[in-house]
Chain A
Amino acid sequence: MAAPRVSIQTADFDVSAELEALRRSDHRVGAVCSFVGTVRMANQGDKAPQVLSMELEHYPGMTEKAIEAMIDEAHRRFDIFAARVVHRVGLLMPGDQIVLAAVTSAHRGQSFQACEFLMDYLKTQAPFWKKERTPQGEQWVDARVSDDQALARWGIRAGNAG
């Protein structure tokens, strides 16, 4: 059975184990590119209140489908061998890992690009929502126009934040 491409989980993930599995999955692999997103202590700029914790909500069923579709699109656009996305939900603390996107290819260029494409796509099109707890209370994190702009350079109009 093929390894899962998408995991949505409350548990933390082991980046080394994930990358090793990817690198050993195909003898043609010459490059493994990965991105790890983590919880910032001050999310909305340095002057923002300190983040004590973060709660991540998602849309079970749709989330997995949406990211599977993104990986399919990455395979169409780039010369890559495999891609893997792990995204955590539930209660997270500053410094915790939130998301892993990892891609393999023969040479670095394609996996670098595909990894960035996956993250740009995910940030604006995957149904996750973040709620921060700060000393001043709880607040939902606003979507960023800059994330829509990041996706636009791949020729995809997001319209998430607007």
Chain B
Amino acid sequence: MKVQLRYFASVREAMGRGAEERQTSASSLAGLREELIALGEPYAQAIGGSKSVRMALDQVMADRDMPLREGAEIAFFPPVTGG
């Protein structure tokens, strides 16, 4: 299925881009993250390892087990620091 990916803050900088569209066969957010990390750089650097990365699904903070659907907007970003 096709999904829209968004990157913010330090993740965006490490990726060198703020958004992209990708085909995925992953069924969950965690699966998608693993799939991306397996592609190597820049994904491994941006969202890999023991990095504390938060995810949002269709603009709502999401758990790693959340299921994906066609056309979903998934965002990867570091812990938030507003206020």
From B12, which residue of chain A is reached at the shortest CB distance? A57
A34 on the interface (CB 8 Å rule)? no
Interface size class of B (residues with CB under 8 A): 10 to 19
Most chain A CB neighbours (cut-off 10 Å) among B6, B54, B79, B83: B83
Distance, CA A143 to CA B9, complexed state (A): 13
Distance, CA A25 to CA B79, complexed state (A): 36
B60 close to A57 (CB less than 8 A): no
From A57, which residue of chain B is reached at the shortest CB distance? B9
**Residues of the A chain whose Cβ atoms lie less than 8 Å from the Cβ of B78:** 129, 140, 143
B56 on the interface (CB 8 Å rule)? yes
B39 on the interface (CB 8 Å rule)? no
**Residues of the B chain whose Cβ atoms lie less than 8 Å from the Cβ of A126:** 80, 82-83
Distance, CA A57 to CA B77, complexed state (A): 11
A119 on the interface (CB 8 Å rule)? yes
B9 close to A161 (CB less than 8 A): no
B24 on the interface (CB 8 Å rule)? no
Interface residues of B (CB under 8 A from A): 6, 8-10, 52, 54, 56, 59-61, 75, 77-83
Interface residues of A (CB under 8 A from B): 37, 56-59, 61-62, 65-66, 87, 98-99, 119, 122-131, 140-143, 147, 160-162
